[in-house]
Structure 1
Amino acid sequence: MSAPRNGQHRSGPPVVDFHGHLAVPAADALVAGTPGFAAELAAEQRAHSPASLAVNRAQLDRLRPKLTDVSERLADLDAMGVDIQVVGPMPMHHYWTGRATAVRLARTVNEAVAGHRALAPERLYGLGTVPLQHPDAAVTALEEAVGEYGLHGISVSTSVNGRELADRAHDPVWAAAEELGAVVFVHPWGCSLGERLATHYLGNTVGQPVETAVALSHLIFTGVLDRFPRLKLVAAHGGGYLPTYIGRSDHAWRVREDARGCAEPPSAYLRRMWFDALVYTPRALRHLVAEVGADRVVLGTDHPFDMGVDDPLARLDAAGLAPPDRAAIAGGNALDLLLKGRTR
């Protein structure tokens, strides 16, 4: 693949941001006014303080052009020094929806992501969504996303309407993703700790890393990654807290029979996943690389939200990694994930 050049005319391999978001108003309209969506909004209100809700609303209004307009997105990528961005939907998958609505939602989102990508195909790759609450329909939607819409995988949340990602009901989806060589990007939306973290935006700053650590731990400890060793699983936000304290998981696996649902110590599975580099500090990035390997880290900005960053390369450089590791994280790992092993 030839490296696309942005407005800064940089040389060298392309820089890839694996973590961008797209708003899909047509999908929002499909659930607007429904009891299920009202319940979802009520849960969100309970999980945030009035002050945080006000900031969130203002942010969405301000960022809407960046979430929908490809020219705004490309201008931001140029400013960040990013050549390619992996664009997925805002992680509102509405896993409570019935089958007919869920299928329509997935198709609407996936068509929108594909259409957005088509406006700048050398700069944008796409991730779609699938109705995981209906696993057979999710398999069909995944096949359509990859085969018909040309997407490179899917984004999923950390749980499915109260059901863990690791539930065996989802095994057909992971099997299909393996066969297709499709990426599965795990990105939390909200936190199951709810009102306990409502104050001071803790539901995001603390809760979302917790959600990711819990979801990944279920996938590890229940043997999902033993059953699907070729699954391209990518975790947002550096995998939450899991890589930081994986030694406790290893200890439990060694000393307790009830914690031994996976074939190897849990830390071994960190090197079967990938993690975005959105961990904010050079020290945290060095630690992530030490735990999972430089070949398992990709850039991530969470564009365009305020919990993301707009200087991913400066943060990568500040970590002081060896040049081959820096190059792999800047783009090489992401391109391998996106392009190798695809069957469609």
Structure 2
Amino acid sequence: MTSAHPQDVPSVDLHAHLGVPAVDALIEGEPGLARQRRIDAAAQGPASMAVNMEQIGSLGPRLTDLDLRLEAMDRGGVDIQAVSAVPLPHSWAERDLAERIAALSNETVAEFCAKRPDRLVPIGTVSLQYPDLAVDQLREAVTSFGVRGVQISTAAAPGVELDDPSLAEFWQAAEELGAAVLIHPWGCSLGPRLGAYYLFNTVGNPVETALALSRIAFSGLLERRPGLRIWAAHGGGYLPSYLVRADHAWHVRPDARTTAEPPSAQLRRMWVDSLVYEPHQLRHLVDVMGPTQVTLGSDYPFDMGVDNPVERLLAAGFDAATVAAVRGGNAQRLLGPLPGFPSEPTGGIR
């Protein structure tokens, strides 16, 4: 462990989104999009859909305007932001359209971040429903657009989980390229059971994330690919809060004893963000994950996010080394060299 003053480490928000109107225009009128909207409407329920529609107008500028984003970052004490497209599902898209969606999204995100490369870092998109295409898109995004990683959903496609053997080459390419893979949910496969009270998000998102990370953990992916850099939004969903149950199953059931080390050890090879709202919950998350595996996350500019991730980190009462690590040092270990950091990763804990 090394010492570092928290204020000497730039603050890095790993969880922030950009609207891509060009993609919206590209897919408008597509039958697959219409089907996806019907699925989402049934899963969210009429009340939540009505609230979301009211919010679209106010969210629009914040999703696309650079000055508004920088002002929000400054107010929240965020020095650097990793920017990913709004995580709307496109697994319904046919191969040709999927290729165009990813290319247009990656170009847009990269161009937006290039306007302020000292403050913004691009995160790309791949079409994981076509694993061979996703490999090509990943390489292109890293080499041509300079992304530090790619954002994927909690499943490659309906019925295709992240531990599916068809994704082996994608995971291999991500490890070889040193590209982070950011897992972000969209709703939940429980469907209309969550169609009230915004359970689509408040229950659905953490359920989906917990399931995705559990499949990765029990599959042994990170034992086979120890160099993989996997990150998950919303504090890793429900999994860190009840990880002891997964470990118990690993110890007592042969069908769950699928790895050399228990699920808790697998999870601590991943990163998660700090978006768990309350100081006691953040302290628990760091205790479970370890101080080297948690990064800042705001979910800018959505209402389920927070506008003061640094303030919330400081409120948790961690020691200086942990604050420095979560504030920015862990993000540099995940994404690679970042603006304002020395050439060697910092953050107080290694």
SS of corresponding position for 1:21: strand
Which residue does 1:7 correspond to in 2? Answer: none
1:319 and 1:215 map into 2 onto residues whose CA distance is: 28
* 1:282 and 1:318 in contact (8 A); partners too: yes
CA distance in 1 between counterparts of 2:163 and 2:66 reads 35
Aligned residue in 2 for 1:32: 28
1:168 is matched with 165
Give the structure 1 partner of residue 325 of structure 2: 328
User: 1:250–1:265: 8 Å Cα contact kept in structure 2?
Assistant: yes
C-alpha contact (below 8 Å) 1:191/1:207 kept by paired residues: yes
CA distance in 2, matches of 1:146, 1:214: 28
Name 1:185's counterpart in structure 2.
182
Map residues 53-68 of structure 1 onto 2, 5 A cutoff: 53-68=49-64
* Contact 2:128–2:157 (CA under 8 A) maintained in structure 1: no
Distance 2:308 2:18 in 1: 20
Q: Identify the match of residue 144 of structure 2 among 148, 153, 161.
A: 148
The residue number in structure 1 matching 2:341 is none
Q: Any gaps of 5 or more consecutive residues in structure 2?
A: 1-5, 338-350
Partner of 1:308: 305
Q: Which amino acid aligns with 1:60?
A: I
Q: So what's the TM-score if we normalise by structure 2? A: 0.93
Equivalent in the alignment of 1:109: 105
Instruction: Return the match for 2:245 from 220, 240, 248.
Output: 248
- 1:253-332 equivalences in 2 (<5 Å): 253-332=250-329
Q: Secondary structure at the match of 2:304?
A: coil
Query: Which deviates more from structure 2 when the two are superposed, residues 28-37 or residues 272-281?
Result: 28-37
Correspondence 1:78 to 2:74: yes
Give the match for residue 217 of structure 1: 214
1:253-277 alpha-carbon deviations (Å, 9 max, x no partner):
1111111222211000121000100
Per-residue CA deviations over 1:325-344 (Å, capped at 9, x if unaligned) read 0111011111221116xxxx
Which of the numbers 46, 71, 92 marks the counterpart of 2:42? 46
Distance 1:93 1:107 in 2: 15
What amino acid does structure 1 have at the position aligned with 2:15?
H
Q: Partner amino acid for 2:323?
A: R
1:15 corresponds to which residue? 11
Separation (CA, whole Å) in 1 of partners of 2:45 and 2:185: 19
Name the structure, 1 or 2, with higher relative contact order (CA <8 Å, separation 6+).
2
The equivalent residue for 1:199 is 196
Q: Secondary structure at the match of 1:67?
A: helix
SS of the equivalent of 2:63 reads helix
1:135 to 117, 131, 137: 131
Q: Does the 8 Å contact 1:181/1:232 carry over to 2?
A: yes
**Would you say the 8 A contact 1:132–1:138 is kept in 2?**
yes
Task: State whether residues 270 and 291 of structure 1, in contact with CA within 8 Å, keep that contact through their aligned partners in structure 2.
Answer: no
Instruction: Give the Cα–Cα distance (whole angstroms) in 1 for the partners of residues 219 and 328 of structure 2.
Output: 31
Residue 116 of structure 2 is aligned to residue 123 of structure 1: no
Cα offset, 1:12, TM superposition: 2.4
Q: Could you tell me how far apart the structure 1 residues matched to 2:230 and 2:323 are? A: 21
CA drift of 1:161 comes to 2.2
Instruction: Provide runs of 4+ in structure 1 moved above 3 Å.
Output: none
- 1:236 and 1:60 mapped to 2: Cα distance? 22
Shift of 1:227: 1.6
**Other structure's SS at 1:160 match:** coil
Counterpart AA for 1:157: S
The answer as to whether partners of 2:7 and 2:324 remain within 8 angstroms in 1 is: no
Partner SS state of residue 159, structure 1: coil
> In the alignment, is the contact (CA less than 8 A) between 1:93 and 1:156 conserved in 2?
no
**Identical counterparts, % of pairs:** 54
Residue 5 of structure 1: aligned partner: none
CA RMSD of aligned residues (A): 1.2
Cα distance in 1 for partners of 2:285, 2:54 equals 33
Gaps of 5+ in 1: 1-9
Secondary structure, aligned partner of 2:307: coil
Query: TM-score, normalised on structure 1?
Result: 0.94
1:254/1:11 CA distance change after superposition, 3 Å: closer
Query: SS at 2:8's partner residue?
Result: coil
Give aligned pairs, total: 331
Return the offset for 1:11.
5.8
Pairwise CA distance, 1:120: 0.5
Measured in 2, the distance between the counterparts of 1:73 and 1:171 equals 37
